[in-house]
Amino acid sequence: MRRSKRGKRKKKTNKGFEMVKNSITKILAILVIVGLNWTGLLAVGRTFGYFNDIENSPENIYQAGTLDFSAKGLGDFSLNLNPNNQAVRNVMVGNEGSLEFKHLVEASDLEGDLCDYLNIMAMFEGDEKYNGSLVGLSSEIVEVAGFTPNKNWNFKISFSGDENDTSSLDGKACQFNFYFKAWQTNMDKYNEGSGFTDQEKVFTRVSLRVPHALAQDYVVLNEFLPNPLGGDCELQGLAGEWIELYNNHSDQSFDLSGWYIEDEANHQILITDDNTYNNSSVIGAKGSDNEWLVVFIDGCILNNDGGDTVSLYHNSGSLVDSYSYIGPAPENKSYARYPDGTGPWYDPVPTPGGPNRLEPFGISDLFAINETSGQEEIPEPILETATPSTEEVIVIEEEPQIENQESDETLINEPEELEDVPQSEPLKEPEPEPEPEPEQTELQVEPELELEPEQSIEEEILIKEPAIEEETVIVPENDPSPAEPPAEPPAEPPAGAPADVISE
């Protein structure tokens, strides 16, 4: 019996210990949970409230415009600059879009030794917008309002270096772009990538040409043909590439032997008697018909595709003149000054050894242009002799008697060209009656005989004097009828005709 009681007590003791142990475990679990979520529990109690509203805005219109402008250089882009004179460049600006715009002009892409020695004055519609160095060109802002006509920018470029020390810069050049920037008017300044903007560039090249003595002052490049018809490399003489020089001196000719011409690739063409059109290196004075000197290249030297520069050099090596062209050279189209020697450059029809023209020769030119030295010969026009006038025939009527046969032949004979001249319609002759018919073109020789308008002059003469076989005009003596303008004489009488056939 004792053993059973001890066993029961031991079971009661173990059961109480288990209860305490479980309670402690639950309390620890609660403490761990609370500890881990303490930060989140602290945030409980703070909330945010928001207010929303919706409104409608009807009848809105969205409209987009375009900002676009054009800048076009006028005249020659390659300028020759004298230390004592200015070179002038004009650029026209126009509005090609639907928005008004502001714009300015700067100099960009400058290249060449001469750029640091150039000043420029920029004027817009006569108002000065910049005056200073070319390198620092940045004009005042100009606004173009509405669709106004094209506006003109005028640029005057001058030499800013020492005029007494130009030998090192003689022949040097500066090439650059006039860089036009435009933007919308509600913005204060140009900011690429913000708002509407547009840009345009106009290429310009300036060469310093220092005055030299004698020939260098007057001989210039005048015309050249870079792309003749056919294959350039196989052509020679006037059929191939050639360069024409011009002498602006009106009293003196110059010997250009030893002078030479170069292109951008430094191909050199020496001027000699053997490669000129007149087989002479002497260029005549202005007005002598020999003021042009054509130099044959006899090969494919000048660039036909990407532009080139033609430069004329004195035999001392100093640059006398130069001209640059860009882009493809049209076939059989020359580059030429117009007028010769002094004018700007164009691309007219080739005229080697003669005055430059902007248009090809036409039929009307045959009556106005004589043969020009050095050019392809233009045939003399064959001028038909005009039919003698009425006054000339009346003078013959006033001389009732002819002294001799020789004077008769002198008066009646006409130039041979009259044989092919078509006869004009018979002249009107006033009727003896006081009421002539205004529309009638008939010619009455006698009151009883009336000729139809279709009758020729020969028929009238035969009707009047049937006994005379030659087609000549017979001057009647003591004609009681009033003086009438006779019909035009036909062809001259045959040579050796007897005197009684020519005159009564």
CATH 2.60.40.10 correct for 69-208: yes
Please, what is the end-to-end C-alpha distance for the chain in angstroms? 205
Question: What number of CA atoms fall less than 13 Å from residue 440's CA on the CB side?
Answer: 12
Is 6 strand, coil or helix?
helix
Is 121 strand, coil or helix?
strand
The band of 331, judged by pLDDT with boundaries at 50, 70 and 90, is: very high
Q: What is the mean pLDDT of the chain?
A: 75
Output the pLDDT for position 149.
80
> Whole-angstrom Cα distance, residue 442 to residue 347?
57
Please state the rounded mean pLDDT for residues 461-466: 43
Cβ-defined contacts of 135-142 (< 8 Å, 24+): 135/107, 135/110, 136/107, 137/105, 137/106, 137/107, 138/104, 138/105, 138/106, 139/104, 139/105, 139/106, 140/104, 141/102, 141/103, 141/104, 141/189, 142/102, 142/103, 142/104
> Whole-angstrom Cα distance, residue 387 to residue 136?
74
The band of 137, judged by pLDDT with boundaries at 50, 70 and 90, is: very high
Q: Are strands 78-81 and 197-208 parallel, antiparallel or unpaired?
A: parallel
As to burial, measured by CB atoms within 10 angstroms (0-12 exposed, 13-18 middle, 19+ buried), residue 358 is exposed
User: In this model, does residue 438 exceed pLDDT 60?
Assistant: no
Please state the rounded mean pLDDT for residues 410-423: 42
User: In this model, does residue 294 exceed pLDDT 70?
Assistant: yes
Output the pLDDT for position 365.
46
Please state the rounded mean pLDDT for residues 337-354: 92
The count of residues in the chain is: 504
Output the pLDDT for position 411.
38
| Tens of pLDDT, residues 81-131 | 988 889 999 999 999 888 889 999 999 999 999 999 999 999 999 999 999
The band of 494, judged by pLDDT with boundaries at 50, 70 and 90, is: very low
Output the pLDDT for position 386.
36
Lookup: tokens for 248? 């602006």
Lookup: tokens for 273? 């008697």
pTM of the model: 0.41
Please state the rounded mean pLDDT for residues 432-450: 47
What letter represents residue 186's amino acid?
A: N
Alpha carbon 218 to its chain centroid, in Å, reads 25
Please state the rounded mean pLDDT for residues 184-188: 87
Please state the rounded mean pLDDT for residues 6-34: 74
- CB of 455 within 8 A of CB of 423? no
Please state the rounded mean pLDDT for residues 208-229: 86
The alpha carbon torsion through 164, 168, 171, 176 (nearest 10 deg) reads -100
- The 3 state secondary structure assigned to 170-185 is CCCEEEEEEEEEEEEC
The residue that leads in pLDDT, 236 or 462, is: 236
- Give the number of other CB atoms < 10 A from CB of residue 413: 13
| Tens of pLDDT, residues 224-278 | 999 999 887 889 999 999 999 999 988 888 999 999 999 999 999 999 999 999 9
The alpha carbon torsion through 130, 134, 137, 143 (nearest 10 deg) reads 50
- CB of 345 within 8 A of CB of 335? yes
As to burial, measured by CB atoms within 10 angstroms (0-12 exposed, 13-18 middle, 19+ buried), residue 92 is middle
> Whole-angstrom Cα distance, residue 286 to residue 291?
5
Please state the rounded mean pLDDT for residues 366-390: 38
| Tens of pLDDT, residues 29-47 | 888 877 777 666 666 666 6
- Give the number of other CB atoms < 10 A from CB of residue 237: 14
User: In this model, does residue 502 exceed pLDDT 50?
Assistant: no
Lookup: tokens for 391? 């006054």
Domain ranges of the chain: 69-208, 214-367, 386-504
